Amino acid sequence: MIKSAPPFQLTPEQQQILLRMARDAIEQWVANGRVPHYQSDDPALAQAAGVFVTLRRRENGDQALRGCIGRVEAPESLLYLVSEMAVKAASNDPRFPPVTAGELPTLHIEISVLSPLQRLEDVQEIEVGVHGLLIEAHGRRGLLLPEVPLHHHWNRADFLEGICLKAGLPPDAWQEPGTRLYTFTTFSFEEEIGD
């Protein structure tokens, strides 16, 4: 049985600090090519945790993916990692060209803080929309956040196929001996529309 880690929590004020910092880091990178480093004496922001930053472009009421990069496990503080991953999502996602100054007003930022990974022994324990998945097999690795199957209207079987394909593996690779699956949960928050 999956032993869920206690949910990670940040106050609305701490969430706003991280969201503002992520936006500022992207803007500074676009303007001068540098990633600023931030400081805070808030112990919650000094915690180490995996983080993913997702960028979407708002257009005609829709939000199209514009970049998503993160680290699963990291010794760095949230304060450090959020700014680093925000800039990488804007500049290094291989699916997209780097974000330009003209796009900045249309960007919408979401931050997902990851719980520690839990080894998955029984795929029936996966809760679609609650658990994210990480797969490791044949020297490949892939990760999907908990909201991905919801966006695609996937069930558990679709989610398992999707994680295999994300790692560049055959869709049934999750069943092969030696394949390792892990679950995690996220504490996610995003900018308000109109911010």
Q: Is 6 exposed, middle or buried (0-12, 13-18, 19+ CB in 10 A)?
A: exposed
> How confident is the model over 102-158, as pLDDT tens digits?
999 999 999 999 999 999 999 999 999 999 999 999 999 999 999 999 989 999 999
Q: Which two tokens stand for residue 6?
A: 């206690």
| CATH number of the CATH domain containing 170 | 3.30.1490.150
On the CB side of 34, CA atoms within 13 Å amount to: 4
Q: Which two tokens stand for residue 29?
A: 């990178």
Range of the domain at 127: 118-184
Q: Which residue has the tokens 């804007």?
A: 90
16, part of any domain: yes
40, part of any domain: yes
Residues 94 and 135 in one domain: no
Domain boundary among the residues 114, 138, 158 is at 114
Residues 136 and 70 in one domain: no
191, part of any domain: no
Residues 86 and 148 in one domain: no
Distance CA 22, CA 36 (A): 10
Residues linked to residue 77 through DSSP beta bridges, in sequence order: 48
pLDDT value of residue 59 = 78
Domain boundary among the residues 83, 114, 145 is at 114
pLDDT value of residue 7 = 57
128, part of any domain: yes
Q: How many domains does the chain have?
A: 2
**Number of other CB atoms surrounding residue 19 within 10 Å:** 21
pLDDT value of residue 193 = 66
Q: pTM for the full model?
A: 0.86
CB 164 within 8 A of CB 170: yes
pLDDT value of residue 40 = 87
CB 14 within 8 A of CB 75: no
Distance, first Cα to last Cα, the chain:
41
* Helical pair 78-91 and 12-32, crossing angle rounded to 10 deg: 40
193, part of any domain: no
H-helix or E-strand containing 132?
A: strand 132-137
4, part of any domain: no
Distance CA 52, CA 186 (A): 9
pLDDT value of residue 167 = 95
Residues 106 and 48 in one domain: yes
* Better-predicted residue by pLDDT, 156 or 61: 156
Domain boundary among the residues 99, 114, 129 is at 114
Residues 90 and 130 in one domain: no
